[in-house]
Amino acid sequence: MKYDYTGTLKILVDKALNGDPADVDDIMSELTYEADLVMTRKIDFALSLVTTDRGIERIKHYLFNGTLIQRNYACLYLNRIDEWEPVKEAFKQGLIDEIQAYAR
């Protein structure tokens, strides 16, 4: 099924589908503490569309090097694709809490 997104969501989806590290950086740069609920949902949806190996590796980078909110969304993404090893390591390092480590 094809959807014709517009505005910010279209930009985020296009970047996610492209999946380059710079595109993931652009998406993650929108995850700030000032981001409202609607924006965080758009970002979460866009991240769910990242499927390239380079994009996934860049999301893993944010699990260990991002701000707390970026680490949380990276963790959610990795949990959803069953990439448990980096999540367990981030938890072990104290970068995410137990609740976040097992959230989906």
For helices 53-65 and 84-92, what crossing angle results, to 10°? 10
The stretches in the chain having pLDDT less than 70 are 1-3, 104
pLDDT at 1: 47
Quick one: CA torsion of 64, 65, 69, 74, rounded to 10 degrees?
Answer: -50
SS (H, E, C) 37-89: HHHHHHHHHHHHCCCCHHHHHHHHHHHHHCCHHHHHHHHHHHHHCCCHHHHHH
- Residue 2 in domain: no
**37 domain-assigned:** yes
**What's this model's pTM, rounded to 2 decimal places?**
0.91
The average confidence (pLDDT) of the chain is: 93
- Which domain range does residue 68 map to? 7-101
Residue 83 φ/ψ, nearest 5 degrees: -95, 80
Task: Domain count for the chain, please give it.
Answer: 1
Is residue 25 a part of any domain in this protein? yes
Residue 2 is predicted with a pLDDT of 64
